[in-house]
Amino acid sequence: MISFEMPKPLVQTRTVVETVAVNMMRPISREMDENEHEIPWAYIQFMHTATKALGSSSMAPEDTEKEKKKDPEKEKRPPINYQRLMVMVEMLSWGDAGIYLCTPGGMLGAAAVSAAGTPDQKKRFLSRFKGKEPVFDAMSMTEPQAGSDTSAIRTTAVLDEKTNEWILNGEKIFVTAGNKALVDSKGFIVVWASLDLEAGRAGIRSFVIEADTPGCKVTKFEEKLGIRASDTVSIVMQDCRIPFENILGSPTIEKSTKGYKGAMETFDATRPIVAASALGVARAALEFVLEKLEAEGVTIRYNLPRQKMSNLEREIIDLETQLRQAWLLTIKALWMADNHQSNGMVASMSKVKAGKVATVITQKAVEIMGPLGYSQEFLLEKWFRDAKINDIFEGTGQINLLVVARNILGYRGSQLR
């Protein structure tokens, strides 16, 4: 029989993280929302110390092979690093999605290094998360003229053969945690740039720019609808020189888009993680509705035939079903990642589904609660604002649907866009 129960280590992780969500995030949720650009240092310091104490440098899953070498016993257990990350992210986002995005340690940038970097690069860039001070990372693809269509990227990387350095020029916008990575800590940012603008996607590679690199500046802070605790910035690179070794993947332009695909593999891990965050916000909203209804003496009669239920009961059950569907797709995508299976399609499916479900559930929750949902007395209106981003970043819902369709139909990007 198939069991959908979570394994014990995941349940334990969930319990530990729940204490953080309840005691450290929820109490400052409103304050952080109202004071955009303030940094939740107490949470950051706590998470930095806690993840180190747990033997992990960051939220980025450890290299499984390395882990196995450290502890042969672990070979006997099924790999669950990505699934554990999902449980953590879901619970932290249930606490507060904006504050979760301020968690120190390897996030999107580390995922890019893990996906496309050499063992030496992984060591060089990821070891900094184990230091005394909390460190952040970021990943930036988006430019004023290039969002969904990454072939429109205009940031360039030119090799100076005399000094063996890359010279980067261009502008990136909407960089999550960009300021924390470059200014507030000794972190790094992974930047997508073109080796040859004529080569289209085949010329695109990712490069690591470390904090304090001359020529790379944060130029603007966005003011946002939701996830306001998280910094979202613009970055300008002006003759920004980085070592040759900071390119992730091959420095030569192949006729194929192999190098570009390597960079795209980052999404196989990050899209389900965004889905997990969406699930946390959606669950927070749904639980809030159920608690308020129960306080009013309204309970959901799950065992009634559908035609005998009230409309409200049917709506709630439909929302719970959608949340479960999205959860199952997300855990499947990350189970596949843990087991080194190609998960690109399921990763996109989970992101489409969870992004949509979070938007629908939070909107419906506000609708059901009426003024309680609209009032700032409760966090529901905030969750409604926080949810939408999950349908936008890491590929919009439409773009992820395209990825799924291409996979099912066997089309290339150029054949279905």
Q: Which residues are catalytic?
A: 394
Q: Which residues pair with 360 in a beta bridge?
A: none
Question: Does 93 interact with ligand FAD (rule: CB under 6 A)?
Answer: no
**How many angstroms separate the CA atoms of 328 and 1, rounded?**
17
User: CB–CB of 109/192 below 8 Å?
Assistant: no
> Which residue of 202, 242, 253, 389 would you call a contact of ligand FAD, by CB under 6 A?
389
- Considering only residues 29 to 48 of the shown chain, the ones binding ligand FAD according to CB under 6 A are none
Stretch that binds ligand FAD, among 48-56, 76-84, 139-147, 298-306 (CB under 6 A): 139-147
With respect to ligand FAD, which residue has the nearer C-beta, 139 or 285? 139
**How many angstroms separate the CA atoms of 283 and 134, rounded?**
29
CA dihedral 35, 141, 197, 415 (to 10 degrees): -130
Stretch that binds ligand FAD, among 57-65, 72-80, 282-290, 391-399 (CB under 6 A): 391-399
Stretch that binds ligand FAD, among 18-26, 76-84, 171-179, 278-286 (CB under 6 A): 171-179
Stretch that binds ligand FAD, among 113-121, 137-145, 237-245, 311-319 (CB under 6 A): 137-145
Stretch that binds ligand FAD, among 51-59, 134-142, 313-321, 355-363 (CB under 6 A): 134-142
Q: What is the CA radius of gyration of the chain?
A: 22
With respect to ligand FAD, which residue has the nearer C-beta, 140 or 246? 140
> Which residue of 135, 175, 235, 345 would you call a contact of ligand FAD, by CB under 6 A?
175
Question: Does 155 interact with ligand FAD (rule: CB under 6 A)?
Answer: no
Q: Which residues pair with 193 in a beta bridge?
A: 205
With respect to ligand FAD, which residue has the nearer C-beta, 59 or 368? 59
Taken in order 192, 193, 195, 201, the sign of the CA dihedral is positive
Structural tokens at position 235: 């970055």
Helix boundaries (H) for 1-80: 8-20, 29-34, 41-53, 64-70
Structural tokens at position 280: 């946390």
3-class SS string, 268-336? HHHHHHHHHHHHHHHHHHHHHHHHHHHHCCCCCCCCCCHHHCCHHHHHHHHHHHHHHHHHHHHHHHHHH
- In one-letter notation, the amino acid at residue 316 is I
Question: Does 176 interact with ligand FAD (rule: CB under 6 A)?
Answer: yes
With respect to ligand FAD, which residue has the nearer C-beta, 120 or 223? 223
With respect to ligand FAD, which residue has the nearer C-beta, 79 or 259? 259
With respect to ligand FAD, which residue has the nearer C-beta, 13 or 58? 58
User: Side-chain half-sphere of 213: how many Cα atoms within 13 Å?
Assistant: 27
> Which residue of 93, 142, 155, 330 would you call a contact of ligand FAD, by CB under 6 A?
142
Print the binding letters for residues 42-81 with ligand FAD: x by CB under 6 A, - otherwise.
----------------------------------------
> Which residue of 29, 121, 140, 194 would you call a contact of ligand FAD, by CB under 6 A?
140
Question: Does 392 interact with ligand FAD (rule: CB under 6 A)?
Answer: yes
Q: How many residues bind ligand FAD (CB under 6 A)?
A: 20
Closest residue to ligand FAD: CB criterion: 147
> Which residue of 100, 129, 174, 335 would you call a contact of ligand FAD, by CB under 6 A?
174
- Considering only residues 275 to 294 of the shown chain, the ones binding ligand FAD according to CB under 6 A are none
Q: Which residues pair with 157 in a beta bridge?
A: 168
Structural tokens at position 245: 């070794």
- Give the residue among 186, 232, 231, 244 at the shortest CA–CA distance from 213: 186
Stretch that binds ligand FAD, among 85-93, 250-258, 342-350, 390-398 (CB under 6 A): 390-398
Question: Does 232 interact with ligand FAD (rule: CB under 6 A)?
Answer: yes
Q: For residue 213, what is the enclosing H or E element?
A: none
With respect to ligand FAD, which residue has the nearer C-beta, 99 or 175? 175
With respect to ligand FAD, which residue has the nearer C-beta, 13 or 246? 246
Report DSSP letters for 350-413, one per residue: HHHHHHHHHHHHHHHHHHHHTHHHHSTTSSHHHHHHHHGGGGTSSS-HHHHHHHHHHHHHT--T
Report the alpha-carbon angle 171-402-404, nearest 5.
Answer: 120
Q: Residues interacting with ligand FAD, by CB under 6 A?
A: 138-142, 147-148, 174-176, 224, 232, 389, 392-393, 396, 398-399, 402, 417
